[in-house]
Amino acid sequence: MDSIVLTSLIVSLIAILVIFTVLIVLIYTIKLLVRLIPYEEPPAQKITSETLPKTSPPSVSPDIISAITAVMATHLGKSPQEFHITQINPK
């Protein structure tokens, strides 16, 4: 075999060994850190009326109510007189 081919194979083998050695060291380092410093989930924050921003309820104009009624009637295949919208909760 040519000396250049043999040298390139040796260099490739050394590079592969170095890469996998570093990867194995990283894997075991991470496993050790997980055992020494376990992850603790932070406590969930409770949403109360005090934490919500103080805003006035949005006003819904009659035009919007009539548009919603028309769309619902068309979608359900009924006439608008068959149902009545009592509450709209924008989200």
Average pLDDT taken over every residue of the chain = 85
60-72 residue pLDDT tens = 778 888 888 889 8
Per-residue pLDDT of the chain (91 residues; tens, 9 = 90+): 789 999 999 999 999 999 999 999 999 999 999 999 988 888 887 776 666 666 555 677 788 888 888 898 899 898 888 877 777 776 6
Which pTM value belongs to this model?
0.43
> What single string gives the DSSP state of each residue in 13-76?
HHHHHHHHHHHHHHHHHHHHHHHHS---PPPPPPP-TTTS---PPPP--HHHHHHHHHHHHHHH
Q: Hey, what are 85's tokens?
A: 């919208």
Radius of gyration of the chain measured on its C-alpha atoms: 34
